[in-house]
Amino acid sequence: MSYYLYVESRDGRWAGTVKHSVLGGRFSGDGNRPTFFRRETMTTGQKDNLLQAKLNLAAKYRRLATIAKSKPKRSTFIYHAERYRRQAQELSGK
């Protein structure tokens, strides 16, 4: 199974559309090959759904951090919660 992606070159210019395999990428980012893949723009509904999912995951991990009995597990859950919160913040800012 494969799908098409829009590709940017290292200096940010549009490099074209490439066929990308789900089993593995054809571009490893070495030399002259492009490194950044840009998704097509999301609809407002998709963006809202993704934002809500990120916020729900942040709340879940924050709740798990309060339940966790060990300090390492608690800090791991807090890290995950903050990561999803940051992703939601970036998504809402764009």
Among 35, 49, 37, smallest CA distance to 5 is for 37
pLDDT at 1: 46
Phi-psi label, residue 39: left if phi above 0, alpha if psi -120 to 50, beta otherwise: beta
Mean per-residue pLDDT for 43-52? Answer: 89
pLDDT interval class at 72 (50, 70, 90): very high
pLDDT at 94: 60
pTM confidence score: 0.56
CA end-to-end span of the chain, whole Å?
A: 30
Which distant-in-sequence residues (6+ apart) come within 8 Å of 69 by Cβ?
none
pLDDT at 22: 46
pLDDT tens-digit series, residues 1-47 = 445 555 555 555 555 555 554 444 454 555 555 555 555 677 888 88
CB 4, CB 37: distance < 8 Å: no
